[in-house]
Structure 1
Amino acid sequence: MNPENQAIEKALIGSKTVHHLARQWMGWAVLFFLVSAVFGLMMRYFFIGEIPYFQFKNLLHAHSHVALLGWGFLLVAGLLVFFFVKDQKRIKIYLNLLLLNVVVVIGMALTFPIEGYGLFSIGFSTLQLFVGYGFAFYFLQDLKKTEKSNATSLITFSIYWMVLSSIGLWAIGPIGATLGRLHPLYFMSVQWFLHLQLNGWFVYVLLGLLLHFLGEKGFKINIPKTFEYLLHISLFLTYALSVSWSTPMKGLLGINGIGVIFQAIAYFFILKPIVLVLISEFELVKDWATKLLWLGIISLGLKAFLQGLLVFPELAQISYTIRMFVIGFIHLIMLGAITFSLGGIALKNNWLPRDASSGWGWFFLALGFLLSEMLLLGQGTLLWLKLGFIPSYHFLIFLASTLFPIGLSIILYRIPKNSSQNFEHQNANSTKINNPKNKKPMKISMLVTIVVSVLLLTSCGGGSENQSTSKAPSAEKVEADPRGIGEIKKVELKEAIDETMASNGKAIVDMKCTACHQLNDKRLVGPGFQGVTNRRSPEWIMNMITNVEVMLDEDPVAQALLEECLTRMPNQNISISESYEILEFLRKNDEEKAGERDGAAI
């Protein structure tokens, strides 16, 4: 074979190899997206039915970890590797990291639904941190070989934020051991991780990849460094909103207000040239992959707009007290901006299949996202305006959520099918490319994944028996005042239920409580309301509603509930008169569901 043909064959083999590696990588990412979507669907079902053997809180942990560290991490890391790493030998390093990440995410998917935060799940989560460190170490080396640009600068900082976010997770252990899991620093550490992951790691890499993607198409966009600096500053200033959720302090919402202004300016001047290029060169109606890309960019812009509204303290407070807004905002980033923008880029580069069947999968995925966002944000707005609930809201959002696993199943099914149909070469020597040996790495990776998963699970055997010993010995038990701590010292209950007060109380509960509590005895984020007036005195209930920070810090019963649920109840700024109306509704709820009420009245 002459040298020219050898060079052509080498190029074809390299193209085939990289294409298959990218498809395998993205296949794992989509698989974990599907698993996370199933967990999310199960969570939705909790509001309309019962699922035996599973707890809502454990499914929530499984859903979030698999989504962030399975789908999110692999999608972003895969795009970075196949855009910037050209050395085939170096790609092998990343494939080893991929394999390890697959193992730990499978471990998290198996353990979180069963034990929540426990020995096994924490072990797998810790391993994933080291995968992230390894990726950061090697990728920053490879990125230095690329010509410096706004894209590489943003991507470099995205890696920094990913690593820096892990400090929050490492801090949880020492803080929990020394100050306790109820201390504000414990919750601030969790929020530090989430804030830098969502607004740092994922958003920065999205902006960088958009610039790089357009740069490869011949559109060089130069962003003044001033706006990058504004983006950096805004990232830390907007963390104040997360802090105010667990530790309300004067000035935090003002700091967040300055941050969202800086962020809005930075987003505008970074996204403006990107949008102008896309408008001129990538028509909205050109193909469905371009439409997905547009949907992602619009979601990112909407994210910035909604955060910009939080310059008003009243809106900032509402943003984290109505849980529908919190969930809708997180989904707007991860599903809207990240999934559709980066998914569109992957489709444009043929790293995900673009056939008609896959298009239907993405259609169902996008439809599920749009419907669920409209329901979440719409219902949150209705509760804010005290207009009640959308009829059959929980059933409707469950139906909308079924579109996620349906769409993802179609996409996942088409990945190996489409991969085998593309990149078939007519050259007579292409038989070498289709050599069965090339399929061995995938089989080996699957086998090693299963073996290592079993080894990691069994290596911790027996740990659950000693798990309780990791807790510090409890101090001498403090007797709790059955009235709680606060202004409410004595509540005179009437024999009959005041229907007007109960109706007003239900409206407040619908707006501020039902995203975390059910009216039955089933736990969601917090315990169910059924039977609460038989377990707690009316004074305790009203003090817990109106004086929540002090109660969580000083009342033993409230602290025990927080220790059990691991989610700090936010201050909803409910007045004493409103808390009385809530109490009246809870009395009525117990009478209807438990058959008795006021069993704990003093």
Structure 2
Amino acid sequence: MNTAHTHTYNRHMPSIASKSLPRTWMSWAVFFFFCASVFGLAMRYFFIGEIPFFEYKHLLHAHSHIALLGWGYLLLTGLLTFSYVKSPLRLKLYKKILILTVIANIGMMLSFPFQGYGGFSIAFSTMHLVLSYVFAYSFFRDLKKSASGTAKTLICLSIIWMLISSIGLWAIAPIGAILGRMHPLYFMSVQWFLHFQLNGWFVYALLGLVLIYMETKGHPIKIGPKTLLALHLSLFLTYALPVSWSMPATVLLYLNGLGVVLQAFAYFIILRPIITQLHSSYCLSKSWINSMLWIGIISLLAKALIQATLILPDVANVAYTIRNYVIGFVHLVMLGAITFGLGALALKNNWLRKNRQALIAWVLLAIGFITSEFLILGQGILLWAKLGFIPHYHLLVFIASAFLPLGLALMLLAQWFSYPPIQKSPKSIQIQKSHHKSKITETMKSTVLMSMGIALLLMASCGGGGSNENQGSYTPPSAKKEKVADPKGIGEIKEVILGDEIDQVLAEKGKAILDMKCTACHQYNAKRLVGPGFEGLTNRRRSEWIMNMITNVDVMLNEDPVAQKLLEECLTRMPNQNISIDESRQILEYFRKNDREKTGGSDAAMN
């Protein structure tokens, strides 16, 4: 009986090579996190200096894809795999999935900065998407073998939300071909993917993994069906807010309000026992890793509280018209809840190293996250109150963001080169040699495979240019028609009478509105960020067109050929900021002032 038990135990014990897989997996996750942070730092630098050879929007796409699909995805799938899968044979399958996923991420990392959405970047993104399906299928098979419970339910649902989120990606191509890339459904498809990724896949998995950790510590937590129902309903109802960005409707804001109330209720019920147990059993002073876990839990609570304020439609409007809030919220989820929450669990399982170098790395990461969040959200509050900018705001955010790649570089060094002390008994030395040998073999195989992938990418790149003409862009049916653009645009403004001199009072009021609602995507110079720069605008477009574009943005994007062309170039739909005609006149006056200061003249398009 004992012999049979021992045989079964040894058969299911991970091999030495399998034991190295978690740290290899996490090392790749940290590597892509480092790369994403470098792209993010470069984006910050665009506001204070020049970066040759790169476009802001291309770096934006590289940053978002590598952060989401490199760091977030690998961290989460790694934690799920090594929490549930123990069979060495099954782990070999996941190792292959990891290698292919790394190749897909490297492909995106090398292609997005140079071509944005193009043939190669889309191919590698699709490769990653297909691999996520392979992972989901494989993981569901292994998950069936584990005991039922609340944690398993949340983990199952998280995988389902990941699959559901991908519907948005598959919908993009047919919607772009049939309705055009400026159609609201196109942007709703993108938001569908992001919404169910962040609030479904990542948050559900985080909650499930925390519950697993509580179970291992002897504190099982059960969640009732009503709470789960509230959580599911809130997930769907809060999708109404991003829908309202491209299809403004008051009813959508009320649906979102109901969703955030249900979400606050569900989070309170789920997190209350977790916080109680963490507070009583794992105080902040006991371990720095517990502090990291607290940052993750507090960030998740802050997410729920911030979203709860969106129950008021006016607040919901402000939340998406001031881009600082959008950026701060996304970072709160990805950098706060996911990075520190899941990172702490990886540390507790020894899948991420927890030595002195790692401690310094995580402290630097925490400093970068907390200071940048305070700056970004604090600046958003100042813009909302029309109090201007924090002195040297962009420089301060750049400095705060620099702590992230600095900490991650140190974390990589700790992960790769720093080893904990071991007992030098003959047996342990033999195990170490065996471990080292298997690790070298493992690394060689991975290196060969990835080198082949990179070589293929580089050879393919030699045959394809990075220009916009060769990026597989599609011209929607509406743009194929021979439309004659009205130089005055489409809207209520038919005639604008301008004075010879600049009205300074109007111009200052206009600048205050632009600072609050527009400068996260546009700059006052000619540099293109998410959207084109403002410099020279009154010399390119008539005043009526400018004011109609500001006040009647949805119709302009759907019907005006010039606005549609700009949308195709930027691939980001300008939100309806609910700006009045009087406010648009104030903005126009500042555009005139800005052009005279920067170009020496204004209103050339009126002549």
Q: TM-score range by the shorter chain?
A: over 0.9
Q: 1:188 to 1:12 in 2, by over 3 A?
A: closer
CA shift, 1:477, in A, is 2.1
Kindly indicate whether the alpha-carbon contact (under 8 Å) linking 2:108 and 2:125 is maintained by their aligned counterparts in 1: yes
Q: 1:8 to 1:190 in 2, by over 3 A?
A: closer
Partner of 1:140: 140
The letter of the residue matching 2:427 is A
Give the unaligned 5+ runs of structure 2: none
Q: 1:467 to 1:40 in 2, by over 3 A?
A: closer
From 582, 586, 590, give the equivalent of 1:585: 590
Partner of 1:130: 130
Partner of 1:527: 532
Three-state SS of the structure 2 residue aligned to 1:570 is coil
Matches within 5 A, 1:76-91: 76-91=76-91
Three-state SS of the structure 2 residue aligned to 1:600 is helix
- Deviation track 1:133-160 (CA, whole Å, cap 9, x = no partner) reads 0000000111111111110000100000
Q: 1:586 to 1:246 in 2, by over 3 A?
A: same
Partner of 1:444: 445
Structure 1 CA distance, aligned partners of 2:514 and 2:199?
31
Partner of 2:268: 268
Equivalent pairs counted in the alignment come to 598
Structure 2 CA distance, aligned partners of 1:88 and 1:194?
34
The letter of the residue matching 1:300 is L
Kindly indicate whether the alpha-carbon contact (under 8 Å) linking 2:115 and 2:471 is maintained by their aligned counterparts in 1: no
CA shift, 1:466, in A, is 6.0
Partner of 2:165: 165
- Deviation track 1:525-577 (CA, whole Å, cap 9, x = no partner) reads 00000000000011111111111111111111111111110111111111111
Partner of 1:431: 430
Kindly indicate whether the alpha-carbon contact (under 8 Å) linking 2:97 and 2:131 is maintained by their aligned counterparts in 1: yes
Kindly indicate whether the alpha-carbon contact (under 8 Å) linking 2:117 and 2:471 is maintained by their aligned counterparts in 1: no
Three-state SS of the structure 2 residue aligned to 1:177 is helix
Three-state SS of the structure 2 residue aligned to 1:519 is coil
Kindly indicate whether the alpha-carbon contact (under 8 Å) linking 2:372 and 2:400 is maintained by their aligned counterparts in 1: yes
CA shift, 1:427, in A, is 4.9
Three-state SS of the structure 2 residue aligned to 1:49 is coil
CA shift, 1:19, in A, is 3.6
CA shift, 1:11, in A, is 9.7
Partner of 1:210: 210
Partner of 1:458: 459
Matches within 5 A, 1:417-428: 417-418=417-418, 420-421=419-420, 426-428=425-427
Partner of 2:41: 41
CA shift, 1:216, in A, is 1.2
Three-state SS of the structure 2 residue aligned to 1:251 is helix
Structure 2 CA distance, aligned partners of 1:362 and 1:303?
21
Structure 2 CA distance, aligned partners of 1:12 and 1:137?
21
Kindly indicate whether the alpha-carbon contact (under 8 Å) linking 2:181 and 2:476 is maintained by their aligned counterparts in 1: no
The answer as to 2:580 corresponding to 1:569 is no
Matches within 5 A, 1:461-500: 462=463, 467-468=471-472, 471=475, 475-500=480-505
Structure 2 CA distance, aligned partners of 1:278 and 1:513?
42
CA shift, 1:246, in A, is 1.1
Structure 2 CA distance, aligned partners of 1:472 and 1:555?
13
Partner of 2:98: 98
Q: 1:113 to 1:265 in 2, by over 3 A?
A: same
The letter of the residue matching 1:434 is K
Kindly indicate whether the alpha-carbon contact (under 8 Å) linking 1:40 and 1:63 is maintained by their aligned counterparts in 2: yes
Structure 2 CA distance, aligned partners of 1:65 and 1:72?
10
**What TM-score do the two structures reach when normalised by structure 1?**
0.96
Kindly indicate whether the alpha-carbon contact (under 8 Å) linking 1:56 and 1:524 is maintained by their aligned counterparts in 2: yes
The letter of the residue matching 1:127 is M
The answer as to 2:189 corresponding to 1:184 is no
Q: 1:400 to 1:333 in 2, by over 3 A?
A: same
Structure 2 CA distance, aligned partners of 1:86 and 1:425?
28
- Deviation track 1:370-389 (CA, whole Å, cap 9, x = no partner) reads 00000010000110111110
Matches within 5 A, 1:60-71: 60-71=60-71
Three-state SS of the structure 1 residue aligned to 2:433 is coil
Kindly indicate whether the alpha-carbon contact (under 8 Å) linking 1:352 and 1:415 is maintained by their aligned counterparts in 2: yes
- Deviation track 1:420-441 (CA, whole Å, cap 9, x = no partner) reads 4356563526414422431210
CA shift, 1:218, in A, is 1.5
CA shift, 1:601, in A, is 1.4
Three-state SS of the structure 2 residue aligned to 1:421 is coil
Structure 2 CA distance, aligned partners of 1:109 and 1:36?
9
Structure 1 CA distance, aligned partners of 2:480 and 2:164?
34
Structure 1 CA distance, aligned partners of 2:281 and 2:69?
34
Structure 1 CA distance, aligned partners of 2:39 and 2:51?
12
CA shift, 1:456, in A, is 4.4
Kindly indicate whether the alpha-carbon contact (under 8 Å) linking 2:188 and 2:246 is maintained by their aligned counterparts in 1: yes
More displaced 10-residue stretch of structure 1: 218-227 or 527-536:
218-227
- Deviation track 1:199-241 (CA, whole Å, cap 9, x = no partner) reads 0000000000000011112111111121111111110010000
Kindly indicate whether the alpha-carbon contact (under 8 Å) linking 2:510 and 2:586 is maintained by their aligned counterparts in 1: yes
CA shift, 1:459, in A, is 5.0
- Deviation track 1:387-414 (CA, whole Å, cap 9, x = no partner) reads 1100100000000000000000000001
Three-state SS of the structure 2 residue aligned to 1:434 is helix
CA shift, 1:458, in A, is 3.4
Kindly indicate whether the alpha-carbon contact (under 8 Å) linking 1:107 and 1:457 is maintained by their aligned counterparts in 2: no
